Structure 1
Amino acid sequence: MSVDNSRARPSTHPVRVRGRDDLAGDGAGARKADGDLSARPVRRRPKNRRAQIAAAAANAFGSLGYHGVSMEDIAGGLGISSAALYRHYPSKYALFQEESLRVGQAMAESVRLPAEAQSWNPQQRLREILESLSAVTVANRASVTLVRWEGRYLEPADREIRAEQQTAVLDALEEQLAAYSPDLGNGDRKVLAISVLSTITSIADHHAALPTKALVALLVSTCFALADTTLPAPVDIPPAPPVEIPESFKHELLLRKGVELFHARGYPNVSVEDIATAAGLSAASAVYRFYRGKSDLLTAAFRRAAERVSSAIGPAVASAAGPREALDSLVEQYVAGSFAERELTFVYYTEFQHVPAEERAALRNVQRLSVDEWARLVRQVRPDLSAPQARFLVHAAFALVVDLGRSFGTVAIASQQRVTLLMQTVLYGRPTES
C-alpha cells in the first residue's frame, strides 16, 4: 500500500507565545534605572491560549501519535512552560480527549439538516450534508486524524461517546442515501455511507493542498459519484486459508505475528515478549536474532508493503494499452493485496510514526513517488483535474479500501469486486462498468 502517511497536517510554524515569566513589570509598567516608567505596554496572556494549546496538541498527536507526544513537546511548540500548560489541562489525556470528542461532535452536528430542508428534494438534502460535513472536516483537518486513527487510545467511556458520534454521521448519510436512491438495499447503503465518509475524512491522511472551496467541491462531486454507483451483487467468497510458514522461516512468522498484535492492541501496547510468545518462541531474546527490536520489525513490514505497491506500477503501465487499463490493473492488485493483508493495511495507517526517523524518510519517498505515478495516470484519464486534485483522489481511493476493510472485514457486502468498483469510482469520478 502507498499513502503519504506522515499524517495530514497543514504546514504550520510553531506559535511563539510568551510565558508568564516574560511578562513585564507589576501591572504598572517596568521601571527604568532612573525610576521613570517604561513606555513598554504590558504583555498579557492571550485570551485564546486554550484554543492555541488545543490546535498545537492536535498537530502533535496527528504527526506523532498519542503515545509519541509529551506535554513538554506541546508546551515547547507553543513557547510556554509545562507549568503554564498544566494550568489549562491537567494531563495529556485531557487534551487528547477534549479535542477528539470536540471534532467528533462537530462532525455529528454538521449532518443535521436545517428545518427548511423538509421542503427540499433528496438531491438537495444529500448535497447539504455532504457540503457541511466536508466543510467541517476541512476546517478541522489537523484534528481529524485523532478521530480516524487514534480513537483506540480513548478510555472506554470516551470511546463510547466517540462511537455514538460516528454512528450519528453514518446514520444521517444512510438516511439521505436511501432517499436519494430508494432502490438501495440496507447493505448497499452501509457500504456507500462508509465510502462517502472515508472519502471526506481521507484528507487527514496526507499533506496535499487545495483551496478550501475547490477541495469541498472535489469531495462533494466524488461523493455523488459514489452515491450514483450501482454495486454488483455481493459474492460470499470464503477467505483463503492462512499460509503456513515453515519453522525455518522464523523471521516471516515474527513479522506476521507482530503485525497482528500491532493491529489488535496498538504498537505502544505490544512488547517484544508478546511477539515472541505469539510466534511460539521461548524467550524474547530469540526475536533479536532476526530483528533489532519491534520498531525494526515494523519497518520491515512497511518496507515490504510499500515496495509491493511501487513495484507494480512499471509492469502495469508497460503491459497496458492505455492509462485506464493500467489504473484498472493497479486497482485490482491494490485491493487484492489489501484483502490478503488486512492487518498490515490498517497498521500502515495507524503506526507509521513509530518507524525510526531515517526509515520514515525513505518510506515517504517511495510512497510519494507511488502516489505521483497513480495521480499522473488519473490525470491522463481525466485531463480536467489538476495535479493536486488527482493526488487527493488517489489518497481517497487508498483510504476507502482500508476503511471498508476495518468496517466489514471479510463480510460479503464489502467483497473485492465491490471495493474495486468503488475505488475506480473515486478515481474516475463516475461509476464504472462492473
Structure 2
Amino acid sequence: MAGSGAGGSGVDEGGVTGAAPLTPRARAKARRRGEILAAAARLMARRGFHAVRLDDIGAEVGISGPGMYRYFSSKEDVLAEMLLDISRRLRDGGRAAVERGGDPDRVLDALLAVHVDFVATEPDLISVQFRDLGSLPAAPRHEVRTLQREYAELWVDALVRLRPELTSTQARAHVHAVFGLLNSSPRLPAMAEADLRAVLTTMASAALRS
C-alpha cells in the first residue's frame, strides 16, 4: 500500500497477471491517468468536489480542457475512479493481511498497519472520501459502500477472534470508532510521518484492545 499515491488508477503498468503486457502507449496512458487522479485529489481536498472543474484538473497536469476527455468523461468519472480505487486497495490490503494468518493479535496489528499506511501517505484521498462520497452517482457510490463494508468486516472478524467477549455489534462499534480516529489524521497538527504513524498506531491499538 505504501507509496501507491492518490494517482493509483488500479492499472498495473506491467499488465494484469495472466494477461498480455500493456503496450508502451497503454502504459503511458495509465501513468497519465494516475497523474490526473493525483491532481484531482489535491484540488478536491483543498476546494471540495463542487468547486473543481475538469478543466482545473487538466491545468494542474498540463492538459487542455478537450484533451481531458481522452482520459475521463467527466469530473464525476474522476471521482468515481479515485474512490473505487482506494476502496479496492484497502479491501484487498485487508484481505492480504488476514490471509497471511497468525494469532489474532498479529492479524489485527497487520490490519492496523494497512490503514495507518493509507492515512499516513494519502491524506488528500481521506479528505475527499470523507467529504465528497455523496457526490458520486448512485451506482459507484453503492459499489464504494460495499467495498467499505467488506473491509470493515475483516476488522470486525479479527477483533471478535481476539476478544470473543464482544458481540459483533460491539466489535463493529469499536472498529468504526477507530476508523474515525485514524481518518482524522488530515486535521491533526503537522508532524513527521514516522511520528504520525507511531501516534496513530498506539492510539488505535489501545482503543481496539480497551
More displaced 10-residue stretch of structure 1: 299-308 or 397-406: 397-406
Aligned partners of 1:346 and 1:406 also within 8 Å: no
Q: Give 4+ residue runs of structure 1 displaced > 6 Å after superposition.
A: 242-247
- Which one of 191, 202, 209 corresponds to residue 421 of structure 1? 202
Aligned partners of 2:104 and 2:158 also within 8 Å: yes
Name the structure 2 match of 1:319.
100
Aligned partners of 1:405 and 1:414 also within 8 Å: no
- Secondary structure, counterpart of 2:73 in structure 1: coil
Gap change, CA 1:312 and 1:247, over 3 Å in 2:
closer
1:418 & 1:294 partners in 2: Cα distance? Answer: 35
- Which one of 31, 38, 41 corresponds to residue 259 of structure 1? 41
Name the structure 2 match of 1:219.
none
Percent same amino acid at aligned positions?
A: 24
Q: Letter of the aligned partner of 2:196 in structure 1? A: S
Name the structure 2 match of 1:78.
none
Q: Letter of the aligned partner of 1:313 in structure 2? A: G
What is the number of residues matched between the two proteins?
189
Unaligned residue ranges in structure 1 (runs of 5+): 2-239, 430-434
Task: Report the TM-score, using the length of structure 2 for normalisation.
Answer: 0.82
- Secondary structure, counterpart of 2:208 in structure 1: helix
- Which one of 264, 279, 294 corresponds to residue 61 of structure 2? 279
- How far the C-alpha of 1:402 sits from its partner, in A, is 2.1
1:370 & 1:244 partners in 2: Cα distance? Answer: 21
Q: How does 1:108-127 map to 2 (within 5 A)?
A: none
Q: Letter of the aligned partner of 2:111 in structure 1? A: L
Name the structure 2 match of 1:394.
175
Q: How does 1:44-123 map to 2 (within 5 A)?
A: none
Q: Letter of the aligned partner of 2:140 in structure 1? A: E
- Which one of 127, 133, 136 corresponds to residue 352 of structure 1? 133
Gap change, CA 1:295 and 1:391, over 3 Å in 2:
same
Residue by residue, what CA displacement relative to the aligned partner does 1:309-359 show, whole Å, maximum 9, x if unpaired?
111233222222222211101111211122111110121111100111011
Aligned partners of 1:259 and 1:343 also within 8 Å: yes
Q: Letter of the aligned partner of 2:32 in structure 1? A: K
Name the structure 2 match of 1:330.
111
Gap change, CA 1:305 and 1:243, over 3 Å in 2:
closer
- How far the C-alpha of 1:410 sits from its partner, in A, is 3.6
Name the structure 2 match of 1:405.
186
Q: Letter of the aligned partner of 1:365 in structure 2? A: T
| Structure 2 residue 49 is matched with structure 1 residue 306 | no
- How far the C-alpha of 1:413 sits from its partner, in A, is 8.9
- How far the C-alpha of 1:268 sits from its partner, in A, is 0.6
Gap change, CA 1:253 and 1:244, over 3 Å in 2:
closer
Q: How does 1:122-161 map to 2 (within 5 A)?
A: none
Aligned partners of 1:254 and 1:275 also within 8 Å: yes
Q: Letter of the aligned partner of 1:323 in structure 2? A: P
1:344 & 1:294 partners in 2: Cα distance? Answer: 15
2:114 & 2:194 partners in 1: Cα distance? Answer: 19
Q: Superposition RMSD on alpha carbons, in Å?
A: 2.5
2:55 & 2:36 partners in 1: Cα distance? Answer: 11
Task: Report the TM-score, using the length of structure 1 for normalisation.
Answer: 0.41
Bigger fraction of residues in helix: 2
Which has the larger Rg?
Answer: 1
Name the structure 2 match of 1:385.
166
Name the structure 1 match of 2:76.
295
1:284 & 1:268 partners in 2: Cα distance? Answer: 17
Unaligned residue ranges in structure 2 (runs of 5+): 9-26
